[in-house]
Structure 1
Amino acid sequence: MLGLGELELKVMDVLWSSGEPMRVRDVLERLAGERRLAYTTVMTVLDHLHGKGWVHRSMTGRAYSYRPARTREEAGANLLREVLDSSGDAESVLLHFARSVSDRESEVLRRALDRGRES
């Protein structure tokens, strides 16, 4: 995702798949299978994500618990919005994208647009 490094994205994946707030140690344990990370590394990544507005944190006992500030789907939609806003030619980007979608994705977009017209 735009604005996230590789480890930040892995941490966000852990938080998104959890569905509940997690402490640094919880995130570290979920990441343990991929590569050996230090507790302080994960703590620093979560602190950076908090500073960037990607996670909310609250004190649980003597440690912070972290949860995503937005769902994975909202983050994806925000990324698309950023791409369109920064492209200089949103219409061309949308047309290229429309040619790349599957039949299923096309149907989902059509239904969403139809619902938008009804409201």
Structure 2
Amino acid sequence: MRRLGELEAEIMDRFWRWNRPATVREVVDDIQRDRNVAYTTVTTVTTILFHKGHLTRTRDGRIWSYQAAATREAYAAALMEDGLEATDDRKGALVHFVENLDEEEIAALRTALRNVGRRDGA
């Protein structure tokens, strides 16, 4: 999975934060609180995000409503998985990754590993 571009990330951030369907107009209006952006540009990028599978959409009359297809956390996990694919030494990469975690993140990782073990019947 390729990292999101700057405007793609701005658009996805809204959908992840809002956690609800929204129109391109809503996204444009929110982005324009910080900077100018063309409605047509946001429409194009939103359509691209839909075709890449990052967004789902439903038609409401003549207008599309979009919603995030997965959570921000699922997106981040997919990026981490892709990072692991970049090496022949996945275990080594994991060690380097864990070495950079703080205590709270390590505790969360331990909890996740225990929960996965229970789910798999281990």
Deviation at 1:19, TM superposition (A): 1.4
* 1:1-119 to 2 correspondences below 5 Å: 2-118=2-118, 119=121
Distance between the aligned counterparts of 1:86 and 1:77, measured in 2?
15
Distance between the aligned counterparts of 1:5 and 1:111, measured in 2?
32
- Number of residue pairs the alignment of both structures matches: 119
- CA deviations on 1:64-119 (whole Å, 9 max, x unpaired) are 01101100011111111111122222111100011110011111111111222233
Runs of 4+ deviating beyond 6 Å: none
Going from structure 1 to structure 2, the CA distance change for 1:37 and 1:94 (only over 3 Å counts) comes to: same
Structure 1, gaps ≥5 residues long: none
Structure 2, gaps ≥5 residues long: none
Task: Verify the 8 A CA contact 2:84 2:90 in the aligned structure 1.
Answer: yes
| Paired letter, 2:98 | A
| Paired letter, 2:40 | T
Task: Verify the 8 A CA contact 2:3 2:79 in the aligned structure 1.
Answer: no
Distance between the aligned counterparts of 1:88 and 1:59, measured in 2?
45
- CA deviations on 1:16-74 (whole Å, 9 max, x unpaired) are 11111011100001101221111101000101101111101110111101101100011
RMSD of aligned residue pairs (Cα, Å):
1.3
| Paired letter, 1:28 | V
